[in-house]
């Protein structure tokens, strides 16, 4: 989501002063005027929360992984037939085997809805870097259309920890920053367990997620605290046990390819 915290204009400063300015500005990224995340000591998007340690992932892990026989292929590089937009057809660009966010056309989501699943997808943030922090290659994978696994160019791009690439947005930073360089293809392999409520709307079981980015576990059966949002506390609201996969239009031309899903532990369709 968008970070409204902006750096000032630094024109006219000498190089040394500019470097100092940048360090101070980067340290101030994030917020301290937001609520404390339940069960944690950090504010939502806390500027003091440590960024995940940086590691270099192996060159390839599941990039180009062919779908197993029981997988639903959600995007095979040819068209958006399995996706819809806010006002009907999905209007993102499709070319050369990938889809690309078409700024201003809105999020797209799968026609199908799923309960528990294994999801494979690949993404690339723009090779040409513009902006900083939350403005660089921002998109997101919304599980059940509600729980954002952040997509961001987090290669040497400081931002608040719970908004860096791989974060469960506003809740949990990834365990590691396993990001590749801008423009390079990266993989997410995600295992999601749906939340459940009783008939009275009481939460019986929260959602859990495991995420592997470029071969590196960045969330290990992590409890999701509720629907994700910008500067707000996570909150659960009851809904049927199934939901779509949604990809975010945050105004940056981030690309996706090779998206497939395997259903796990399907209960009866609502
Ligand atoms: Mg995002």
Ligand 1 geometric centre to CA of 240 (Å)? 24
Ligand 1 geometric centre to CA of 167 (Å)? 9
Residue 1's pLDDT band, with cuts at 50, 70 and 90, is: very low
Q: Is 21 a residue whose pLDDT tops 50?
A: no
How far apart CA 88 and CA 170 sit, in angstroms, is 29
- Provide the residues around ligand 1 (an ion) whose CB is within 5 A: 138, 140, 248
Ligand 1 geometric centre to CA of 170 (Å)? 10
Q: Which residue has the higher pLDDT, 79 or 26?
A: 79
Q: What is the pTM of this model?
A: 0.89
Residue 267's pLDDT band, with cuts at 50, 70 and 90, is: low
Ligand 1 geometric centre to CA of 177 (Å)? 16
Residue 213's pLDDT band, with cuts at 50, 70 and 90, is: very high
Q: Which domains does the chain have, with CATH numbers?
A: 49-268 (2.60.120.560)
Ligand 1 geometric centre to CA of 19 (Å)? 28
pLDDT of residue 9: 32
Q: Which residue has the tokens 């599980």?
A: 143
Beta strands in the chain (DSSP E): 72-75, 83-85, 88-89, 93-95, 98-100, 108-110, 116-124, 139-143, 147-151, 186-193, 196-197, 203-205, 208-213, 216-223, 245-247, 255-264
């Amino acid at each position: 989501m968008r970070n409204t915290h902006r750096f000032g204009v630094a024109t006219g400063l000498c190089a040394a002063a500019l470097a100092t300015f940048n360090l101070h500005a980067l340290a101030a990224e994030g917020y301290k005027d937001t609520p404390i995340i339940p069960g944690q000591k950090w504010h939502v998007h806390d500027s003091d929360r440590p960024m995940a340690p940086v590691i270099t992932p192996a060159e390839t892990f599941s990039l180009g992984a062919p779908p197993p026989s029981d997988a639903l292929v959600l995007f095979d590089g040819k068209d958006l037939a399995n996706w819809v937009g806010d006002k009907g057809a999905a209007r993102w660009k499709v070319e050369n085997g990938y889809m690309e966010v078409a700024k201003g056309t809105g999020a797209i989501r799968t026609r199908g809805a799923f309960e528990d699943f294994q999801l494979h997808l690949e993404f690339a943030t723009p090779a040409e870097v513009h902006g900083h922090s939350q403005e660089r290659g921002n998109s997101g994978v919304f599980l059940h259309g509600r729980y954002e696994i952040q997509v961001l160019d987090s290669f040497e791009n400081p931002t608040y920890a719970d908004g860096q690439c791989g974060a469960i947005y506003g809740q949990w930073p990834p365990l590691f920053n396993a990001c590749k360089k801008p423009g390079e293809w990266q993989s997410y392999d995600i295992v999601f367990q749906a939340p459940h409520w009783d008939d009275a709307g009481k939460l019986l079981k929260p959602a859990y997620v495991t995420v592997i980015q470029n071969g590196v576990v960045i969330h290990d059966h992590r409890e999701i605290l509720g629907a994700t949002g910008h500067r707000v506390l996570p909150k659960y609201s009851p809904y049927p046990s199934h939901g779509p996969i949604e990809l975010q239009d945050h105004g940056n031309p981030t690309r996706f390819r090779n998206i497939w899903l395997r259903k796990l532990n399907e209960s009866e369709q609502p």
